Amino acid sequence: MRILLTNDDGIHAEGLRALAEVAAEFGTVKVVAPDRERSACGHSMTMRDPLRVKAVNYQGGLEAYEVNGVPVDCVNVGLTLAWPDGCDLVLSGINNGPNMGFDVTYSGTVAGAMEGCINGIRSVAMSMALFADGAPLHYATAQAWLREHFSWLATCPLQPLTFLNVNVPAIDLPELRGTRVVEMGKRVYEDRVEMRQDPWGRPYYWQGGVVIVDAREPGTDVSATSQGFVSVTPISLNWTATAQMPALEHSLPHHAGRTP
């Protein structure tokens, strides 16, 4: 199996090394990742600056490259330089924090899997569901889960234009309760823009805010991980709200679409 790895935490991130260690047990792995952290870049792409690519020494002697771009750039560079004839699987992660609910729209980790899916390749984003700053990330738990489920991830039934978003609770392996296939939950931010002042009294703004999660909503990634389950969410690239289309068509003014 030909496997391309990327992330948004950078080529030297611990989570990427943990992912590479397991993936190398199941196929030929090549790593193409940003040269520095690119968190929350979403599904952006570098269009007006050149991409610089540098080969780097990587664990286990894996072929690896760092790119001065974002995860989408890394996947496309990887499919041009590392796997010019294509690959079988794109793995993005392991992110050092959760990517659940609306976070998937901001996440560079999820964007890496999304770009693989756009290129017609089975793709998986993987993150650690850590909810307390400074707590252990427990990458070993994610590695153990991935070893057990790797073949399933590579062969489970997926509709076209669909990729998987996996969140592993940052807990010890014996505490892990299992795996649930769930929907996206709600993970929003309160007071996300804060005004501050620099040493000269000039205002500036810092974006972030406090994360508000509702773990009570059943059948969601937020609920599953809060209960100690790995959450697996299939995400479709077809964002069309098809259920809304008949009502929209019915609500059109009677003259809509008529030629004068």
Polymer length in residues for the chain: 260
Q: Which residue do the tokens 């234009």 mark?
A: 161
Taking residues 233-240, what's their average pLDDT? 96
- What is the signed CA dihedral for 15, 208, 72, 133, rounded to 10 degrees? 0
- CA 145-228-106 angle, 5° bins: 80
The pLDDT of residue 210 = 58
pLDDT of residue 189: 57
Please, which pLDDT band fits residue 25 given cuts at 50, 70 and 90? Answer: very high
Residues 224, 182: contact at Cβ < 8 Å? yes
Angle between helices 14-23 and 139-155 (to 10 degrees): 50
Classified as helix, coil or strand, 145 is helix
Percent of the chain, pLDDT > 70?
92
Helix then strand then coil, in percent of the chain rounded to 5, is 30, 30, 40
Tens of pLDDT, residue by residue over 29-73, are 999 999 999 988 989 999 999 999 999 999 999 999 999 999 999
In 106-124, which positions are buried (b, 16+ CB within 10 angstroms) versus exposed (e)? bbbbbbbbbbbbbbebbbb
Of 100, 111, 85, which is closest to residue 30 (Cα–Cα)? 85
- The Cβ of residue 20 has, within 10 Å, a number of other Cβ atoms equal to 23
Residue 259 predicted with pLDDT over 60: no
Q: Closest by alpha carbon to 68, among 86, 94, 46, 48?
A: 46
Looking at residue 212, what is its pLDDT? 57
**pLDDT digit string, tens, across residues 93-106:** 999 999 998 889 99
pLDDT at position 202 is 92
Q: Which domains does the chain have, with CATH numbers?
A: 2-186+216-251 (3.40.1210.10)
Strands 210-213 and 187-190: antiparallel
The reported pTM is 0.90
Residue 144 CB neighbour total at 10 angstroms = 15
Rounded-to-10 torsion of CA 88, 237, 183, 87: 10
What would the pLDDT profile of 62-109 be if each residue is shown by its tens digit? 999 999 999 999 999 999 999 999 999 999 999 999 999 888 999 999
State pLDDT tens for residues 131-174: 777 789 999 999 999 999 999 999 999 999 999 999 999 999 99
Map tokens 């750039």 to a residue: 73
CA distance 227 to 222: 9
Position 193 confidence tier, pLDDT thresholds 50, 70, 90? confident
Which residues are within 8 A (CB) of 76 and not within 5 positions of it... i.e. 6 or more apart? 45, 115, 119
Per-residue pLDDT at 24: 98
